[in-house]
Amino acid sequence: MRYVTAGESHGPEEIAVIEGIPAGLHITQEDVNQQLARRQKGYGRGDRQKIETDQVTFLTGVRHQVTLGSPITLNVHNDDHNNWSKIMAPNTPANDENTLRKVLRPRPGHADLVGGIKYRHHDLRNVLERSSARETTMRVAVGAVAKKLLSEIGVDVHGFVVNVGPAKTDLAQLEQYKTLAKLREVTESFDTRTLDQATDDEIKTVIDQTKKMPTPLVVLFK
Q: According to the model, what pLDDT value does residue 142 have?
A: 98
Per-residue model confidence (pLDDT) at position 143: 98
pLDDT of residue 222: 52
d(CA 143, CA 73): 13
Q: What share of the chain is helix, strand, coil (3-state, %, to 5)?
A: 35, 15, 50
**Predicted pLDDT at 219:** 54
Cβ 72 vs Cβ 57: under 8 Å: no
Counting every residue written for the chain, the total comes to: 222
pLDDT of residue 215: 61
CB 195 within 8 A of CB 160: yes
Per-residue pLDDT of the chain (222 residues; tens, 9 = 90+): 999 999 999 999 999 999 999 999 999 999 999 999 999 988 888 777 778 889 999 999 999 999 999 999 999 999 999 999 999 999 999 999 999 899 998 988 889 999 999 999 989 999 999 999 899 999 999 999 999 999 999 999 999 999 999 999 999 999 999 899 999 999 999 999 999 999 999 999 999 998 888 765 555 555
pLDDT of residue 107: 84
**So what's the pLDDT on residue 160?**
95
Structural domains of the chain, ranges and CATH numbers in brackets:
1-80+108-157 (3.60.150.10), 158-214 (no CATH)
Q: What is the pTM of this model?
A: 0.89
What pLDDT, on a 0 to 100 scale, did the predictor assign at position 52?
Answer: 87
On whether the CB atoms of residues 67 and 22 are closer than 8 A, the answer is: yes
Among the residues of 43-172, which ranges form H helices? 48-51, 112-119, 125-128, 136-151
- What pLDDT shows up at residue 88? 96
Half-sphere exposure of 114 (CA within 13 A, CB side): 6
Helices (H), ranges, 78-212: 112-119, 125-128, 136-151, 180-187, 197-212
Distance separating alpha carbons of residues 169 and 161, to the nearest angstrom = 8
CA distance 169 to 18: 36
